[in-house]
C-alpha cells in the first residue's frame, strides 16, 4: 500500500504530518509502536506525578544519554536539542503499555529535579545517571557515586571521556 501512495505525485507524505499529539501539554512521538514524550525539565516531575495517578504505576528506569556526538536526532518542534538526554521509562500495568519520557538537559546546567518523591525507586537509578554522566538531581536525598569509587574523577559514560587512555585510579596509593 505504501508503495502505491509513494508512486502518486502527492507532495506531502500522508502519514508524516498528523496533528501533533500531546500528553498533558508535552509533545508525543511514536517510535516503533512505543510512545515517547518530550518534556521539559520543569514539567517532568508534575508530568510523572500526573501519569502515576493515571495508572502509570512504575518507573522502570532513569537513563542518561550523552548526545555529544549524535547531532542527527528527531525531536518534535519546539524541543531544542541539548547535550544530555534523560530517558524515564514508565509502565502502565492496566493498559499494558510502555512510555518513555525524554528530557533535554543542557551541558552548562545539568540539573534535573528528582523523581524520588514520586517514585522512591528512582533513587538508585538517578545516582547511576549522576555517577556516569554527571547529571545532578535537585532534591535527591543522597546524590553520591554508586558504581564508581567515591573519589573517582570524571563521569565515564560521557562521550568525551576517553577509553583506554586513563591511568587506573587507586585509592590511597602513595604519590611516589
Partner 1 sequence: MTATEESPHLTDEGAQEMAPRIVAGGTEVLREVGSVLRMSEAEAGEDAPDDAETTIINMGPQHPSTHGVLRLMLELDGETVLRTKPVIGYLHTGMEKTGESLTYLQGGTNVTRMDYASPIFNELAFCLSAEQLLGLELPPRATWIRMLMSELNRLTSHFLFLATNGMDLGSTSMMIYGWREREEGLRILEMITGLRMNHNFIRVGGTAADLPDGWQQRLTEYLDSIPERLEEYEVLMTNQPIWRERLQGVGSITTEEALALGATGPILRSTGYAWDLRRDMPYLAYDQVDFDVIVGTYGDCFDRYAIRLNEVRESVKILRQVIEMMPAGDYRTQDKKVTPPPRARIDESMEALIHHFKIFTEGFKVPEGDAYAAVESPRGELGVYLVSDGSAKPYRMHVRGPSFVNLQVLPHLMHGGLIADAVAIISSVDPIMGEVDR
- Span near partner 1 by CB under 8 A; candidates 11-19, 37-45, 104-112, 145-153: 145-153
Q: Give the interface segment with partner 1, choosing from 12-20, 58-66, 103-111, 167-175 (CB under 8 A).
A: 58-66
The residue among 81 and 156 lying less far from partner 1, judged by its C-beta, is 156
Q: How far is CA 75 from the centre of its chain?
A: 13
Decide if residue 29 touches partner 1 (CB under 8 A): no
CB-nearer residue toward partner 1: 24 or 73? 73
CB 113 within 8 A of CB 135: no
Residue 125, interface with partner 1 (CB under 8 A)?
yes
Alpha-carbon distance of 112 to 136, in angstroms, equals 6
84 closest CA partner among 95, 100, 69, 99? 69
Stretches 13-21, 39-47, 103-111, 156-164: which one binds partner 1 (CB under 8 A)? 156-164
Q: Does residue 57 belong to the site contacting partner 1 (CB under 8 A)?
A: yes
Does 89 sit near partner 1 (CB under 8 A)? yes
Q: Distance between CA 152 and CA 175 in Å, rounded?
A: 16
- Kindly provide the b/e burial profile for residues 98-123, where b requires at least 16 CB atoms within 10 angstroms of the residue's own CB: ebbbbbbbeeeebebbbbbebbeebb
Among 38, 45, 66, 105, binds partner 1 (CB under 8 A): 66
Amino acid at each position: 500500500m505504501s508503495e502505491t501512495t509513494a508512486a502518486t505525485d502527492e507532495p506531502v507524505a500522508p502519514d508524516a504530518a498528523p496533528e501533533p499529539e500531546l500528553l498533558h501539554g508535552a509533545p508525543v512521538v511514536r517510535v516503533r509502536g512505543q510512545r515517547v514524550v518530550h518534556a521539559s525539565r520543569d514539567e517532568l516531575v508534575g508530568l510523572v506525578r500526573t501519569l502515576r495517578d493515571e495508572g502509570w504505576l512504575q518507573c522502570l528506569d532513569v537513563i542518561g544519554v550523552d548526545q555529544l556526538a549524535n547531532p542527527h536526532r528527531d525531536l518534535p518542534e519546539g524541543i531544542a536539542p541539548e547535550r544530555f538526554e534523560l530517558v524515564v521509562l514508565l509502565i502502565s500495568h492496566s493498559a499494558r503499555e510502555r512510555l518513555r519520557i525524554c528530557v533535554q538537559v543542557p551541558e552548562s546546567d545539568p540539573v534535573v529535579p528528582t523523581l524520588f518523591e514520586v517514585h522512591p525507586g528512582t533513587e538508585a537509578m538517578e545516582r547511576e545517571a549522576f555517577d556516569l554522566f554527571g547529571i545532578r538531581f535537585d532534591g535527591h536525598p543522597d546524590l553520591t557515586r554508586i558504581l564508581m569509587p567515591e573519589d573517582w574523577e570524571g563521569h565515564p559514560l560521557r562521550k568525551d571521556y576517553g577509553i583506554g587512555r586513563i591511568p587506573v585510579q587507586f585509592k590511597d596509593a602513595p604519590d611516589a
